[in-house]
Structure 1
Amino acid sequence: MTLFDVGFRPQASPDTLRGTALIRTVQEGITTVASAAGISETRVRERLAYMVGITAEAGDEHDRRQAVRQLMAWSLEPASLLARKKPRKPVSQRPKGVACRLPRHARVTWACHQMVCGLCADPVPPGELVGRMPTPAFYYQPMGWLCTQCLYLRRAQPRLRDVLLRIFHHVFVGSGIGLNCYECAVVLRSIEADLAASNTVAWKIDPLDGVLIRLRTSIREEKHTTWLSVADGLTIVAVLRETIAGRGSGEQEIALLDAIMQHVEEWRTNPYRVEARRFGTGIRYRQETLNRVPRDTVLSALGGPFDLHQCEPGSEVSSAPMDQVM
């Protein structure tokens, strides 16, 4: 039972709030929680800035959504807000090694309310560690609050989904696809898991025999980066879509593969009539196409393109023995 007489519940999910509606919701939450707790709005703002790691005014929309989640949590469990001592901050969980280590996070905190990761879209329960990456440069978009896997481990201990997201965002930005030896191992294992892979339609159109040789070489030599072409990356996606669906498993992977293939086809055919004179034919065109999708996918809902980090040339790959990922 809460100590508050009035709970704070925004009219819409924090994940869907944007712009002025989001700013207004943060202020409404601060006012409601402060009034219900019998403390000043200034104290609520100070504690909110501590929990999110930045003030709502200085943060971006991802930070404001996190602020809304925190205010919702306080309306249910006010003890942490009313306590004299601030709650402890989580400890960084960066893996060892150089080449597979992601850039140092900007901020970390605990998930205060049910949320989804800003990169892989996995659900994150309350109490789990979440964090923000540094603000990217150039044309990349900032990612939202990331789960522990995406914040620290997606290069050192990649899942198939992590590699598929890397392929998508490299295609999004219009570059080649750079995989480290651990990611190469995941791709190779996923393709070789089905003996029928070479009989798929995608393979027959664009055989991957040479790509598999390069993947094996990368694993054997523990390369920090192996570059694949966009065409090879999309063929890998198409082959995996056929084989994983044929095995009748991997619902999350199938949904992600379907979304990649859908958006790549939309970028090719321009079904939403995105005007080249306004948006060009590059990144802005692809972003606008995602914005016009009538029904959001797991990828269009999160946006992009995201900077998923490449290893520096000459970096040593030493995060985990290769026999742990083969």
Structure 2
Amino acid sequence: MGVDASLDQRVVAVVVAWNRRDLLAQTLAGLAAQERPADGVVVIDNASTDDSAELAASHPVVTEVVTLPENTGGAGGFAAGIARAVVRHGAELVWVMDDDTVPTPGALAALLAARVRYPGRVTVAASRADWSDGREHPMNRPRPRPGADRTTRGAAELAGGYPIRSASFVSILIDADAIRRHGLPEADYFLWNDDFEYTARLLRDGVGLYVPASRVYHLTKVFGSSDADPGPRFTNEVRNKLWVFTRSDALGPADRALYAGSTALRWARMLGRSADRRALAGHGRRGLAEGLHAPRPTVAVLAGTPVAADVAQVERGAGRA
């Protein structure tokens, strides 16, 4: 059956938490209810000011809580958690999710089953993310792999899904060997597009699968797509997309042209639908200015934190430090 045939690979779940203790409680309850339990659960507390860290530390499903000295955003939190899972917890597969993600009982088992059915090695397997009312959340549907040939599509169908080029951090299962080869998420992105850059980097030469049989709930405040007006966060969107297109090796020339074009169209829709176009344009200009400067290395962003040595080990092994 190949290297991914075993269901006994060590799976460590990573949850990034910040000031949403009630949602975090639901995430941890979902992890505790898994038909195939994770072998470890690491919670990265991004300097929460509520009792998220205490809640996680007292929960029986949690193996370790790491509290960072300051909020590093989703990007820094996932870089920290992935490094910790691989270096300290011996993860062979890392299952990542935010603290507003609630996995259904069969979520992990379905991801692992898809890896077994796929005739080859799978780098990233992504769950279907639904909103609270059961509709599939449009912001989390993974991007299909452009130009996938019939053989590739057929292999993905055999596994119960389709081939993807990138995915969000809302429930994906990552091969730890790929993490060692490609390194960690870019922590300086803070939020927005960190998952796009990272999964696109992993999947430039790796296999990605969308696995709709694996279901999670993504409990965002509102149901919407990625072209809704994000307000001040548009600065991060613009800056980070510029970093993806100009500073990252995640995309080849054809991918870069394709995604740059689709991004421009999405920004145009976003501006057209905004109730305050002037403010949104201002956030965009700020992002353009910030995007002219390279992001700091992840080892620099997370220096002085409890995971600094783990981050440095993974990044050095991947030739990124």
Q: Normalization by structure 1: what TM-score?
A: 0.28
Greater strand proportion: 2
Bigger RCO (CA 8 Å, 6+ sep): 2
Q: Give the number of the structure whose alpha-carbon radius of gyration is greater.
A: 1
TM-score by length of 2: 0.29
Of Structure 1 and Structure 2, the greater helix share is in 1
